[in-house]
Amino acid sequence: MVFKKLQRIIVDELGVEATEVTLDAHINDDLGADSLDAVELVMAIEDEFEIKVSDEVAQSFKTVGQIVKFIESKV
Furthest C-alpha separation in the chain: 28
Q: Reduce the DSSP state of residue 29 to 3 states and report it.
A: coil
* Residues known to be catalytic: 34
The rounded distance, in Å, linking the Cα atoms of 43 and 22 is 20
Phi and psi for 54 in degrees, rounded to 5?
-70, 160
